[in-house]
Amino acid sequence: MPLYRYRAISLEGKIAKGEVDALNDFALEAQLKKIGLELIHAHPLGSSGRSVRKMKRCDLISFLFQLEMMLRAGVSVLSILADLRDAADTPEMKSLCAVLYEKIDAGSSISDAFATLPGVFPEITVNLVRSGEVTGQLVEVLHEIGRSLKWQDELEVKSKQLLLYPAFLTVVITAVVVFLMIYIVPQLVDFIVNMGEVVPIQTRALIWVSKLFVNYWWLILPAPPVLFFFVSILAKINPGVRYLLHAAALRFPYLGPVLKKIILARVSDTQGLTHRTGIPVLEGLDLCSKVSGNLVIKEAIEQASVRIANGAPISNGFASQQLFPALIIRMLKMAEETGDWSGAFDNISYFYNRDINESIGRVQAMIEPVLTIVLGSIIGWVILAVLGPIYDTISKIQF
């Protein structure tokens, strides 16, 4: 569909400029008239190609918040999209509003229009909005989606905090080791060898490692990123490899349990969100399995869903999977007795959110001394291997 750049005038005499998709000049003029603009001039810019493949989460949160507020105030969807399109600060937001305006103006519902942009609106968002349209609670649903996205954004920040610090220290330690082995150690080793003394085993090992770095640095340095890239490609094309990597991530010392808590917190929040918006339990579990992002947990949710579909209580379905801790099972049993499912899932999310903060703090406090010990051990080995022969030589000198 062609993209037009237009210049128009409003009923109040104000000039408006912008870009919009339209089938032809007549369709463009009709679109502008619907929003109170009279076309002055327009020229095509070629095919728009507006697929809006992706948006930042913060921009999506802002869009949903503005949509919720203006719908709550009684403004029509098309007017909202037109205003947001004309006032957009980024090309992505302008394109998003233009595409949604076009779809809804052609007769699509909001959820159907969202469904045409899977890179922006995930399946769970589309289903939640569709549920809100059916039940007449679209504004409340948009509010819940925005709240959930903000919470997920906070979880993502916490996940990065968990991984960024050890990654930084690992890079620093690697850089120090490479510098020692390639630049410092060879100079010290030459001095030791020239003394003519018997070289101890720890010094011979240091010499061997140093020569390895000096002669094959071009192979050693790119090895980690190349290996990471190879494993990533293999995981994409082989589900078995991807499953093994996801399982290993959950079992990784110290980091794995925190990662598991983050995933289960997201799953619990999603299940609570689907329940509050009227989506059936089994359909909600299906959506939860898709947002988990981990094949092991996804499989556990799917197996629990099968048991629930066969008539087992929800708590029993989850209890049959060893991945879910006793807290979740206990909360689900309480919800079955009281009927307060939303409260149960909110409590689970609250518990995990608090526990995640404490766990990240503990892991970060522990990682620093561990990596410091590793770096100290390497430097200690170098010092021992270098100074040992020197001390032996000095001790043999007769004064």
pLDDT at 399 over 60: no
DSSP state string for 95-162: HHHHHHHHHHHTT--HHHHHHT-TTTS-HHHHHHHHHHHHHT-HHHHHHHHHHHHHHHHHHHHHHHHH
Average pLDDT over residues 167-192: 79
Of the pLDDT bands very low, low, confident and very high (cuts 50, 70, 90), residue 230 is very high
> pLDDT tens, 181-205?
888 778 777 777 676 666 778 878 8
On the 0-12 / 13-18 / 19+ scale of CB atoms within 10 A, 143 is middle
Q: Give the Cα separation of 105 and 30 in Å (integer).
A: 11
Which whole number is the average pLDDT over 311-338? 82
Per-residue pLDDT reduced to its tens digit, 4-36 = 788 888 877 788 887 776 656 777 777 778 777
Q: Give me the pLDDT at residue 177, please.
A: 81
Domain map of the chain by residue range? 2-47, 57-121, 148-399
The pLDDT-based confidence of 208 (bands split at 50, 70, 90) is confident
Average pLDDT, the chain: 81
Quickly state the pLDDT bin for 233 (edges 50, 70, 90).
very high
